[in-house]
Structure 1
């Protein structure tokens, strides 16, 4: 090892020699994995985090002040991804990026952090009241701006005018809540929230061989889990540095690699034989993006506003800008904080709730790519419903309405393919019992004693908002459930 890995990482060989000492093995280092790991460590449990990718950044890329206009931020993001194939109706295959890096996509997310609406939980075995306490904790943990605790990120005259214009046009708007610290605390990682910063600044992180409460093993892939009929009795891992395969034997295993990869690992491990719904009910936001051009540049116009979804209009709008650029890509995660006073283009997006279909699912393939220990050996089969298509048309129309309300000329519009929103959920569906779901209301597998899911894979449906805050809140709830399972008080 060399560089930062010598400071923050533990050798997987050392972990394997004493893996019986692991209370909880967390597979994935995004917000779900790190939030769970640190929560369990606070209760006295010993945790190891596995991450398939390397350590490249200690915080969100936006905190490093890399401007997207130079292309460096996008280049760095692209260097940490591998393609996940989504196959839609007619056999069209679309490569969708999956991040392999310590912190996962939390290093590159846009910061958008609203709560789900109460009706977003209609299909869940829990309701908004069950999540309220965890939302409070997650907003405090992430230092979300734009709520009663912290002021909005932008407070410009242009933003106030835009909110008035949109609201008058029947599109009630507000400043977008974002996971960006607007306070005076300039500790490392202040600014954009990221799992990497939370992990690397935690007093619990340390070397496994020294008995640290939380240890990180990067460039280590969970290949498969062995199931003895009641519990996971071993996890085969691949050390990408040496090519060696090792077996870990923790007390409990947490899946936190994202909906697709958590479902893939469960399928690879044969768990669909005991829970037939494994891999099914995959879902992603419907995602339409567009631009609009203002007649002239405006002073003090920087804005990030949103129009919330309603029960009747199951999609929300986000408006950001102004920019000099005329188009954008969803990987441009820091662009909106680099608004330009000379810009005349606004960036608009609509995210909608798609119907959740049982046959939208993860399936295994055999691509034989040994570099990634099976991570690429799957694809997502996904067909949009008639209702989805109608909602996408309504989303396009609403984006045009928003542009006109702002006094701008609607520009290019793009309907993105399934998976393109990068907000996937499902695959390990939560249910009230083992017949209706793979996992329970805390993310614990019904039919596997010591296995749970901390990410969005248990979500029975997609909410109307960006899921980052909800995933973080859910992982706090999940950590309480795991602690109970392991005999520790919450």
Structure 2
């Protein structure tokens, strides 16, 4: 999935405690609104945020869309899904499309926060893009594990919407049977997400987009590290913006499909504010899940881990007395990142509209000899900030950072947001592999970049500079310096301290390869635990993984429902 890119993440895990691990404490979310100094609390991690210039109230889902933990304990389910984010929504809706009466329970660690993607709700909600993040783990390697969004909908509440489809070459180190199966699900995944090129979203992706696209295409033909598409249009960023009944598009978030399923499916339940602590069972079969609300007997249900990579891996490692974790936690792969904002005088681009904003969104693929990388290049041009701010906010792929809405609506410049991601490769079960571990019940991430990883990051930065030189046409370029909060002619650092799109720690494959899960994603040594999301990826490139996660979720829903039909 697309990363959280705000530089405002705060580590909230103290150094490893001594002595025996204590039971995970009840966590509190504290929210401060501008009209009140009294914190309001509900369960989950400690967060502090204040809206800027607007009074904001935490939204509450209708009670009929969720059930209590006590009610769920009295029911029997076909599937118990851990996690209420994008992969959970893809799996649930895939099952319900085949069998509308399927009995499904989703256990979500957080509460209900928003009814849609934060950019669909207007710029007043923008501070939530960083404030809704939490970091319930520790990092001890060269890069930190990125934050989670612990609310129903997960990271899809704030993501960029980027949904590139990896080629078979991108997946060349995946088991062939999985890649063949994915060919049956790409179209289904694109349709569900509303995937479309940026130019089909709105008329605002017009002259500026075409000018930038043509210049980037020219650079790609001359730079051996950039993959040259067959035609410039293939540089259009693929974005997830499904249409509503009126034909209007909005940025995809999993919260919509989940709440629709909760209101329409007769046997689909959601329990929120329920943190799963451990899996319990015997002889490889999980029979109970231990949660912050108590123990849940799952009966004969299939248990679906639709959690983020760090969360799923931590849960498996905490459950080693019940499940054979094997090499769980190794093979950690991710993306290093260089993010920055810059501006070029408006007159460096001809024929830009003054009647409304002009936007651009490009996806540029690159590769070194051993690694992959890519660049997202987004841009805004406007002559009237007050008129265009809301429209720009709703359509731009990336609007992270509290200052971003004001900065990108510069009436005298074209402002570019450049996000580059480079591959950090996993190393399977090798002893020197980057990994996720458990230390006194705390999840710990350890990233170690090798020479090839570092070379890819260097190449990414070099390509970004070459692209900007061509885009500016010789005009001056200024960069936003976050620390001094000023525009400068040279940026000292663009590299982020976080590793994004973490994957691979519960990877799929055959047993001889040391894979933690089989080619269906079933945890080895377990008869009823399946892993979805990035944790199950055999390898990682640089492409945004969410479309692939959705396709894998639909693949598993088909596989398990076919088994259900056979077993009767």
Interval containing the TM-score (normalised by the shorter chain): 0.7 to 0.9
RMSD of the alignment, in Å?
3.1
Task: Measure, in 2, the Cα distance between the counterparts of 1:87 and 1:330.
Answer: 29
Alignment map for 1:421-436 (pairs within 5 Å): 421=500, 423-433=501-511, 436=514
Tell me which residue corresponds to 2:415.
345
User: Are the equivalent residues in 1 in contact too, given 2:503–2:534 (CA < 8 A)?
Assistant: yes
Give the length in aligned residue pairs.
455
Distance 1:167 1:274, change over 3 A: same
- C-alpha distance after superposition, 1:226-256 (max 9, x if no partner): 13122112111222xxxx5554435210001
- C-alpha distance after superposition, 1:160-189 (max 9, x if no partner): 0111111112254511010013x46348x9
Task: Measure, in 2, the Cα distance between the counterparts of 1:282 and 1:456.
Answer: 10
Aligned partner (choices 92, 99, 108) of residue 37 of structure 1: 92
Task: Measure, in 2, the Cα distance between the counterparts of 1:333 and 1:459.
Answer: 33
Distance 1:428 1:451, change over 3 A: same
Tell me which residue corresponds to 2:378.
320
Aligned partner (choices 401, 406, 410) of residue 466 of structure 2: 401
Distance 1:17 1:489, change over 3 A: closer
User: Are the equivalent residues in 1 in contact too, given 2:409–2:415 (CA < 8 A)?
Assistant: no
Aligned partner (choices 380, 390, 395) of residue 455 of structure 2: 390
Which deviates more, 266-275 or 32-41? 266-275
Shift, 1:94, TM fit? 3.8
Shift, 1:135, TM fit? 1.2
- C-alpha distance after superposition, 1:425-457 (max 9, x if no partner): 111111123653111222122321101012111
Shift, 1:287, TM fit? 1.3
User: Are the equivalent residues in 2 in contact too, given 1:302–1:339 (CA < 8 A)?
Assistant: no
Q: Secondary structure at the match of 1:98?
A: coil
Tell me which residue corresponds to 1:283.
333
Say whether 1:84 aligns with 2:137. Answer: yes
Say whether 1:217 aligns with 2:278. Answer: no
Q: Secondary structure at the match of 2:317?
A: helix
Tell me which residue corresponds to 2:517.
439
Distance 1:399 1:5, change over 3 A: same
User: Of the two, which has the highest radius of gyration?
Assistant: 2
Aligned partner (choices 225, 231, 234) of residue 285 of structure 2: 231
Shift, 1:271, TM fit? 6.5
Distance 1:198 1:383, change over 3 A: same
Distance 1:335 1:253, change over 3 A: farther
Shift, 1:133, TM fit? 2.3
- C-alpha distance after superposition, 1:27-76 (max 9, x if no partner): 00111111112222333321000100001111111111225xxxx42336
Tell me which residue corresponds to 2:257.
198
Task: Measure, in 1, the Cα distance between the counterparts of 2:205 and 2:132.
Answer: 34
Q: What TM-score, normalized by structure 2, do the two folds share? A: 0.73
Alignment map for 1:253-272 (pairs within 5 Å): 253-270=303-320
Shift, 1:333, TM fit? 10
Task: Measure, in 1, the Cα distance between the counterparts of 2:503 and 2:551.
Answer: 15
User: Are the equivalent residues in 2 in contact too, given 1:146–1:175 (CA < 8 A)?
Assistant: yes
Alignment map for 1:471-490 (pairs within 5 Å): 471-487=549-565
Alignment map for 1:44-55 (pairs within 5 Å): 44=99, 45-55=102-112
Tell me which residue corresponds to 2:366.
309
Say whether 1:66 aligns with 2:123. Answer: yes
Task: Measure, in 2, the Cα distance between the counterparts of 1:137 and 1:339.
Answer: 35
Tell me which residue corresponds to 1:145.
196
Shift, 1:118, TM fit? 1.7
Q: Which runs of no fewer than 5 residues in structure 2 stay unpaired?
A: 1-41, 43-58, 221-225, 386-396, 480-490
Task: Measure, in 2, the Cα distance between the counterparts of 1:41 and 1:103.
Answer: 18
Task: Measure, in 2, the Cα distance between the counterparts of 1:262 and 1:362.
Answer: 10
Tell me which residue corresponds to 2:487.
none
